[in-house]
Amino acid sequence: MKNLFHNWFAKSRRIDLRMGGNFNHCSSVCAYQSGILVAWYGGSGECRDDQSVYVVFIDRNRQSTPLRIGDKTGNPILIPYDSDKVVLLWSKFEDSGTMRSIVDRWKFCSLSATFMQYHKGHKTPQLLGTPEQIASSDQHLLARCNPIMYGGKYLLPLYDEVDRQGVIYRGEGLEYKSIGRLGKNMIQPTLWVGKWKDRIHSLSRNFMDKTHRKSHQCYSDDGGETWSSPSSTMIPNRNSSLHVLRWNDYDLILWNNTSFTQRKDITLGILDGMEVSPIAILDDYGAYPSMCIDRNGDLNMSYTSIEKTIVVHTWNYKQFKKVFRRCGHRACVL
């Protein structure tokens, strides 16, 4: 694994993670104890048998050795649970249907979840108990973006790889059930609750033809069970994942601010309604972003780099305000 620690005590920090081969992709970050857990998958290439989920703990004093979950696993999501445990959810290739290419393995995955924890006396994070199956391969479901807490339960945004729809699960711990679907030719929804506390918003990766180049939005006023008809925004999206997070009265968005299919200019911005103001370009390339707020109140952002490493940025609020004042709406390159 390659580690690039810029200054543990600086106002911002960048770390590069590499494990399991030359291909590392699709990270999820989650607050845990004094730091964060980061999960991703890596291997010799996309959809190879040696592809596995990895999980590492990072704080200002230490970084664990990554835990390897096992062959044919991917698309991990970390879900907070209590002060000592989180839930890890992941997919596994079941190869239970017809596949025209290797990437069609994503269409036939089961989803499993189990508790995990990390203690400083351990070398790696530890899985607890027997995994529970959340969905079977004939449901064609995958995870991507982090869940949100709403009404005392987590809303978990999944997506149907075959029908190209968002699928919303609700629950806690290891018990989740499907409550609603959203969109058409839209996958990998990100959810958030903004100023209007009863309304849940979503933006999705555009999976339409080349004439559609913007992310589509939906909203729900009944806790995620039914959703408005999709409508286009002005946020550029050509088949790329994006992530939204509520932090200190800001709706932050991390996305590829480009009209091209290449995943260029991974950009942090602020949403006002569905109007976006770019703040900073974190990298000239980046894919599959994830964000969380840790227990110190710091913003953690991760994505896949062009070198196929997992990049993790950590900013405190002072650093965020400094960048915001310096760059305004010009999206300066960091």
Q: CA of 25: how far to CAs of 28, 103, 135, 213, in Å?
A: 10, 14, 22, 24
The model carries a pTM of 0.93
Write the pLDDT tens digit of every residue in 68-100.
999 999 999 999 999 899 999 999 999 999 999
Q: What is the pLDDT of residue 276?
A: 93
Q: CA of 107: how far to CAs of 45, 46, 74, 87, 138, in Å?
A: 17, 14, 12, 23, 9
Most confidently modeled of 200-214, 270-284, 291-305?
291-305
Write the pLDDT tens digit of every residue in 245-259.
999 889 999 999 998
Q: What is the pLDDT of residue 212?
A: 80
CB distance 54 to 39 below 8 Å: yes
Q: What is the pLDDT of residue 281?
A: 92
pLDDT band with cut points at 50, 70 and 90 for residue 1: very low
Q: What is the pLDDT of residue 332?
A: 62
Altogether, the residues listed in the chain come to a count of: 334
Q: What is the pLDDT of residue 211?
A: 72
| pLDDT of residue 62 exceeding 90 | no
Write the pLDDT tens digit of every residue in 92-113.
999 999 999 999 999 999 999 9
Average pLDDT over residues 57-70: 93
Q: Which residues of 257-279 are buried (b: 16+ CB within 10 A; e: fewer)?
A: bbeeeebbbbbbbbbeebebebb
Q: What is the pLDDT of residue 52?
A: 97
Query: Around Cβ 163, how many Cβ atoms within 10 Å?
Result: 12
